[in-house]
C-alpha cells in the first residue's frame, strides 16, 4: 500500500513540475499580434483553471503540442486529412507526455522526418488557442530542426506533406499559423538557430 502511495505522490510531483515548466514557458512568451495576445491570455487563464490541462479526456479544453519545422529548405506543412487545410504537424499529448515531446513525436509520425529540438533543448516559438471540433486546443508550438530530406509519411497519415519556402507557406497556411511562421522567418533564422541558412530548391 505504501509503495502505491509513494508512486502516486511521485506521479503528482512529476505532473506538478511539468505544469510549472509549461507555465513558465507560456509566461515568458512575448505575444505581439492581437491573436497572439488573446491566445496568450486564454492559455494562462486555462492553465490556472484546469485540474489537468494535459489530459484530453479531463476537459474539452486541453493542451496540444505542435511544431514549426525548419531546415535549409524552408518549413514543412501537411494537408490535414479531415479539415483539408495546410497546417503544422502536431496533436494531442499521450499520458505523462510533455507538449514539446508530443510535438517531436507527432511530427515524426506525420512527416517521417528526422526532426530534433535545437541545441539547448525545446524552444516555444508560438502559441494559439482555438476551437477544434468539440474540443478547444491550447496549442503550444515548438521549433524543430530537420535535415534536408523529403518527408515520408506512413500510409495512415496524410500523404500531402512537403517543404515550402516561408513566402509559400504564408500564402497557404491556416490563419492560426501565420503569426508563428512570420515570427520564425523574421527572428528565428536570422537569430542563427543551429546555423541554418535557407536555400532555394
pLDDT tens per residue, range 69-123: 999 999 999 998 777 889 999 999 999 999 999 999 999 999 999 999 999 999 9
Upper half-sphere CA count for residue 159 (Cβ side, 13 Å): 2
Q: Taking 80 as the threshold, does the pLDDT of residue 145 lie above it? A: yes
What is the pLDDT, as a whole number, of residue 192? 42
Mean pLDDT, residues 48-77 taken together: 95
CB 136 within 8 A of CB 43: no
Does 62 score more than 90 pLDDT?
yes
- In what helix (H) or strand (E) does residue 97 lie, and over which residues does it extend? none
Q: What is the pLDDT of residue 133?
A: 87
Least confident range of 20-29, 166-175, 187-196: 187-196
Instruction: Give the pTM.
Output: 0.88
Q: What is the pLDDT of residue 156?
A: 79
Q: What is the mean pLDDT of residues 176-189?
A: 86
Choose between 6 and 149: higher pLDDT: 149
Looking at the predicted structure, is the pLDDT value of residue 196 above 50?
no
On whether the CB atoms of residues 111 and 104 are closer than 8 A, the answer is: no
Query: Is residue 143 within 8 Å of 70, Cβ to Cβ?
Result: yes
The pair phi, psi for residue 155, each rounded to 5°, is -55, -30
Amino acid at each position: 500500500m505504501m509503495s502505491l502511495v509513494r508512486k502516486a505522490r511521485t506521479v503528482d510531483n512529476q505532473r506538478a513540475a511539468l505544469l510549472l515548466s509549461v507555465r513558465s514557458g507560456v509566461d515568458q512568451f512575448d505575444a505581439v499580434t492581437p491573436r497572439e495576445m488573446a491566445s496568450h491570455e486564454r492559455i494562462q487563464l486555462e492553465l490556472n483553471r484546469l485540474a489537468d490541462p494535459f489530459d484530453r479526456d479531463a476537459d474539452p479544453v486541453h493542451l496540444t503540442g505542435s511544431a514549426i519545422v525548419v531546415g535549409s529548405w524552408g518549413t514543412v506543412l501537411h494537408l490535414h486529412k479531415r479539415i483539408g487545410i495546410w497546417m503544422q504537424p502536431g496533436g494531442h499529448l499521450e499520458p505523462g507526455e510533455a507538449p514539446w515531446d508530443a510535438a517531436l513525436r507527432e511530427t515524426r509520425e506525420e512527416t517521417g522526418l528526422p526532426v530534433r529540438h535545437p541545441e539547448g533543448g525545446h524552444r516555444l516559438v508560438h502559441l494559439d488557442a482555438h476551437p477544434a471540433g468539440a474540443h478547444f486546443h491550447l496549442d503550444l508550438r515548438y521549433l524543430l530542426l530537420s535535415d534536408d530530406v523529403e518527408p515520408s509519411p506512413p500510409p495512415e497519415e496524410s500523404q500531402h506533406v512537403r517543404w515550402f519556402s516561408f513566402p509559400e507557406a504564408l500564402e497557404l497556411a491556416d490563419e492560426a499559423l501565420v503569426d508563428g511562421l512570420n515570427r520564425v522567418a523574421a527572428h528565428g533564422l536570422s537569430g542563427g538557430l543551429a546555423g541554418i541558412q535557407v536555400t532555394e530548391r
